[in-house]
Homo-oligomer: A and B are copies of this chain.
Amino acid sequence: MLNPDMLRSRFDPVTGEIAGARAVRRHLSDLRGCFADSQAYEVALAAGNPLIYSVGAVEPADGEGDLHYGLGLLLPGRIGNEYYLTKGHLHAWRPAAEFYFGLTGEGVMLLEDEATGESRIVPLSPNGVVYVPGCTAHRTMNVGTTPLTYLGVYPAKAGHDYSAIAKNSFRCVVIERDGKPAMMKRKDLLK
């Protein structure tokens, strides 16, 4: 049966809101351990606890071939030299891929192959699309001066696994260097 309520949704690419959909909101205090410069993090947190990002989701069905999509809003800013970022995740069902479609602002995605640790950064901007293959940890950074919004589409059965990232973090960080995003190894930044 074609349930009309599940067939249609609307989103606002500027505010990052999906009409009628729940959204998770992450403030700076929710991101403890995510930024490489923990001292800069504590200084920033002492000064306030701003919203860093929100993610809403549309989940029409959960069958084998079904899909979900999310809408992310990531605000501009840095902790030390490191851009504001999402926690990042792997899919609980590792083969699940995801497409990201840039809507507003200028972002970068950090991809890390779980098996090899190989890392890459890929730009995410309006009318640009990033493909996240299966078995690949992914995180988004806002590297511009305005809010970044984007759509993510993934298999309904993908699931989100935050624990592997929370335990080991990403091997690389994305920092501003000479006014541009650059990727470097976390251990080299901490030297």
Given A61-B97, A96-B65, A6 contacting B133 (CB threshold 8 A): yes
Closest to A102 in B: B10
How many A residues touch B, CB cutoff 8 Å? 51
Contact for A95 among B9, B64, B128, B130, CB less than 8 A: B64
**Digit string of A126-152 for contact with B (CB within 8 Å is 1, else 0)?**
011111111010000000000000010
| Residues of chain B within 8 A of A99, CB atoms compared | 67, 69, 153
Q: How many copies of the polypeptide does the oligomer hold? A: 2
| Residues of chain B within 8 A of A63, CB atoms compared | 95, 97, 134
Seen from chain A, the residues whose Cβ lies within 8 Å of a Cβ on chain B are 1-2, 4, 6-13, 58, 60-61, 63-67, 69, 91, 93-99, 101, 111, 113, 116, 118, 120, 122-123, 127-134, 136, 151, 153-156, 158
Q: List 30 A-B contacts (CB under 8 A).
A: A1-B113, A1-B118, A2-B118, A2-B120, A2-B136, A4-B120, A7-B133, A8-B129, A8-B130, A8-B131, A9-B128, A10-B127, A10-B128, A11-B129, A12-B127, A58-B129, A60-B97, A60-B133, A61-B97, A65-B91, A65-B158, A66-B134, A67-B97, A67-B98, A67-B131, A69-B153, A99-B153, A101-B101, A101-B151, A153-B153
